[in-house]
Chains A and B, each alone.
Chain A
């Protein structure tokens, strides 16, 4: 089946929070090397959409398929939930997430953060994980900070460390949830630079972001969400340059 080649497919996701619909039938296909950016106003459902992809939120309806393997759901007491949490854990280990708030583990050093999941989830030896981790810290420019705790690092350093942590899993897809929104403006550039490099080397990425320059320069596809639906989607050269929908034109502002 050709479908098994696609790293991440989500189909027709629906989600409500307390009877308020948040996602109303969202779908996405992330092919190898795709960089899909999700844009939209806050409340448009883009973060929830992303969080459904690794099951941090359980969609009320719809499918999540990772490399051809669909997540199994069951309904218990009227609530939909994954049928097998082990399967979910296995799938999560293949889709690394980078959070808005970094969420580095505060009681572990930077290198400790990077090797934690490779060691305990993937089962790498300490030596193997450490080598991989140091190479990644080198790459995000933090090798000299390996022994620091998160509290001793700037926001930008923490986020680059979090990206190293994500890469250490050698994931098939990287999920970014507004990775630069919590950063001081002068620190955003370093993080975006690392993300551009990842895109250039052909990583499959789904990125929720407000950084329009990043979306324009790097994305293979831009999806503009409004009220839990895709209002407009396509390559950035179309969607961001000649937006059709009036809402998107307004969202992008006079600059475009």
Chain B
């Protein structure tokens, strides 16, 4: 049986691809921000800790939608101001156009970076400090200790929380339709308005998200096995 998508099929697929790209790139940015902010919050430096706390408090306290709108309406203005400033400084006449895709990635990355940082922070605190101390006692540098001991031990504790954040992030990508990006929700919405067939378009979109989360569930399962090594009774 063939479902007639009234010609919207290819655009829906493009939308799904955009959703996936947006989600994965935002995830990467959020993970980097989350790790950095978690590290900042765990240092002994007062100013770094305060900045980290300010960031997570503000971001987690403001709705995603408001953040996204700030980006839409404020993004170009802020960027123009910054570019003008640089222009005035070095005597050029440049103009950078607001890129909605990049803006979407940055906004989602900043929002979910805050949630990731809390997940990472808790996970770092859950690592047995004796194992970190052993690494230092054997002459490992801070970075080597992080790479070989702290990070892999931390990830076991972080994974469930990261997975949770990722699921919410994936679904939040739908917000980018308000900054003019044609993700799959946006395409389905337009198609529904044109054809008055909401089920025909929204059900496939829902299934699309489900397919993405199902795939990511497989990846998470693999990661769980990776980071559970030594803890789940499996032999090497």
Contacts and interface: CB of A to CB of B under 8 A. Distances in A.
Interface residues of B, number: 26
Interface stretch (B136-144, B158-166, B178-186): B136-144
A85 B144 CA distance: 13
A108 B97 CA distance: 50
Interface string A111-139: 00000110011000000000000000000
Contacts of A54: 137
B36 interface: no
Interface in A47-100: 54, 56, 85-86, 89-93, 96-97, 99
10 contacts: A89-B140, A90-B139, A92-B136, A103-B134, A105-B149, A107-B230, A109-B230, A120-B144, A148-B235, A149-B229
A56 B139 CA distance: 11
Nearest to A166: B138
B225 to A, nearest CB: 12
Contacts of B153: 105-107
A93 B133 contact: no
Contacts of A96: 137-138
Interface residues of A, number: 32
Interface SS, B side: helix
B230 A121 contact: no
Considering residues A54, A56, A149, A152, which has the most beta carbons from chain B within 10 angstroms of its beta carbon? A149
Contacts of A152: 233, 235
A106 B236 CA distance: 12
B130 interface: yes
Interface of A: 54, 56, 85-86, 89-93, 96-97, 99, 101, 103-109, 116-117, 120-121, 147-152, 165, 169
A100 B154 CA distance: 23
Contacts of A149: 229-231, 236
A50 to B, nearest CB: 11
B230 A108 contact: yes
B136 A56 contact: yes
Contacts of A56: 133, 136-137
